Amino acid sequence: MPAIALASDLGIEQSAELKAALAPHLASKRPVVVDGAGVQRIHSASLQLLCAFCRDRQAAGRKTRLENPSPALRDAARILALTSVLGLSDSPETPHE
Protein backbone atom coordinates (compact mmCIF):
# COMPACT_ATOMS: atom_id res chain seq x y z
CA MET A 1 0.00 0.00 0.00
CA PRO A 2 1.64 3.30 -1.05
CA ALA A 3 2.22 5.71 1.82
CA ILE A 4 2.55 9.46 1.52
CA ALA A 5 4.26 11.15 4.48
CA LEU A 6 3.08 14.73 4.79
CA ALA A 7 5.72 17.41 5.40
CA SER A 8 5.94 19.15 8.76
CA ASP A 9 5.21 22.55 7.22
CA LEU A 10 2.18 22.65 4.94
CA GLY A 11 1.84 26.42 4.84
CA ILE A 12 0.45 28.11 1.76
CA GLU A 13 4.02 28.37 0.45
CA GLN A 14 4.21 24.57 0.29
CA SER A 15 0.82 23.92 -1.31
CA ALA A 16 2.33 23.47 -4.79
CA GLU A 17 4.76 20.88 -3.40
CA LEU A 18 1.89 19.06 -1.68
CA LYS A 19 -0.09 19.01 -4.92
CA ALA A 20 2.92 17.58 -6.75
CA ALA A 21 3.38 14.90 -4.06
CA LEU A 22 -0.28 13.84 -4.18
CA ALA A 23 -0.77 13.95 -7.97
CA PRO A 24 0.98 10.66 -8.84
CA HIS A 25 -1.26 8.81 -6.38
CA LEU A 26 -4.56 10.28 -7.55
CA ALA A 27 -5.24 7.66 -10.21
CA SER A 28 -3.65 4.73 -8.37
CA LYS A 29 -6.10 1.85 -8.05
CA ARG A 30 -4.31 0.61 -4.93
CA PRO A 31 -5.32 1.93 -1.50
CA VAL A 32 -3.27 4.94 -0.40
CA VAL A 33 -2.26 5.84 3.14
CA VAL A 34 -1.50 9.46 3.97
CA ASP A 35 0.62 9.80 7.11
CA GLY A 36 -0.02 13.06 8.94
CA ALA A 37 2.14 12.41 12.01
CA GLY A 38 4.77 15.01 11.15
CA VAL A 39 2.48 17.94 10.35
CA GLN A 40 3.25 20.87 12.63
CA ARG A 41 1.75 23.68 10.56
CA ILE A 42 -1.02 23.55 7.97
CA HIS A 43 -2.70 26.29 5.98
CA SER A 44 -6.25 26.03 4.71
CA ALA A 45 -4.96 25.92 1.10
CA SER A 46 -3.01 22.74 1.83
CA LEU A 47 -5.92 21.28 3.78
CA GLN A 48 -8.16 22.02 0.79
CA LEU A 49 -5.76 20.11 -1.50
CA LEU A 50 -5.72 17.17 0.87
CA CYS A 51 -9.53 17.14 1.03
CA ALA A 52 -9.84 17.35 -2.77
CA PHE A 53 -7.40 14.44 -3.11
CA CYS A 54 -9.42 12.30 -0.69
CA ARG A 55 -12.74 13.32 -2.26
CA ASP A 56 -11.62 12.66 -5.83
CA ARG A 57 -10.21 9.25 -4.95
CA GLN A 58 -13.41 8.34 -3.10
CA ALA A 59 -15.52 9.47 -6.07
CA ALA A 60 -13.45 7.14 -8.28
CA GLY A 61 -14.06 4.25 -5.87
CA ARG A 62 -10.49 4.26 -4.57
CA LYS A 63 -9.61 3.86 -0.91
CA THR A 64 -7.60 6.51 0.90
CA ARG A 65 -6.83 6.58 4.60
CA LEU A 66 -5.34 9.39 6.68
CA GLU A 67 -3.30 7.86 9.49
CA ASN A 68 -1.61 9.36 12.52
CA PRO A 69 -2.97 12.89 12.17
CA SER A 70 -0.88 15.25 14.26
CA PRO A 71 -2.63 17.55 16.72
CA ALA A 72 -2.11 20.47 14.30
CA LEU A 73 -3.69 18.55 11.42
CA ARG A 74 -6.55 17.24 13.54
CA ASP A 75 -7.28 20.69 15.00
CA ALA A 76 -7.27 22.37 11.59
CA ALA A 77 -9.65 19.74 10.19
CA ARG A 78 -11.95 20.10 13.20
CA ILE A 79 -12.00 23.92 13.09
CA LEU A 80 -12.85 23.88 9.38
CA ALA A 81 -15.40 21.04 9.80
CA LEU A 82 -13.42 18.73 7.51
CA THR A 83 -13.01 15.73 9.79
CA SER A 84 -15.57 13.64 7.91
CA VAL A 85 -14.05 14.47 4.50
CA LEU A 86 -10.68 13.28 5.80
CA GLY A 87 -12.14 10.26 7.56
CA LEU A 88 -11.22 11.50 11.03
CA SER A 89 -13.31 11.27 14.14
CA ASP A 90 -14.23 14.59 15.75
CA SER A 91 -12.19 13.81 18.83
CA PRO A 92 -8.73 12.27 19.15
CA GLU A 93 -8.57 8.68 20.23
CA THR A 94 -8.03 8.27 23.92
CA PRO A 95 -5.41 5.71 24.89
CA HIS A 96 -6.73 2.77 26.87
CA GLU A 97 -5.57 2.65 30.46
Is 28 a member of any domain?
yes
pTM exceeds 0.95, yes or no: no
User: What pLDDT was estimated at residue 3?
Assistant: 85
Q: What is the pLDDT of residues 19-28, one digit of tens each?
A: 999 999 999 9
Is 37 a member of any domain?
yes
Buried-exposed string 41-70: b where 16+ CB fall within 10 A, e elsewhere: ebbebbbebbbebbeebeeeebebebeebb
Identify the CATH number of the domain in which residue 7 sits. Answer: 3.30.750.24
Is 93 a member of any domain?
no
Q: What is the pLDDT of residues 72-88, one digit of tens each?
A: 999 999 999 999 999 98
Q: Which domain holds residue 75?
A: 3-79
Is 34 a member of any domain?
yes
* Domain count for the chain: 1
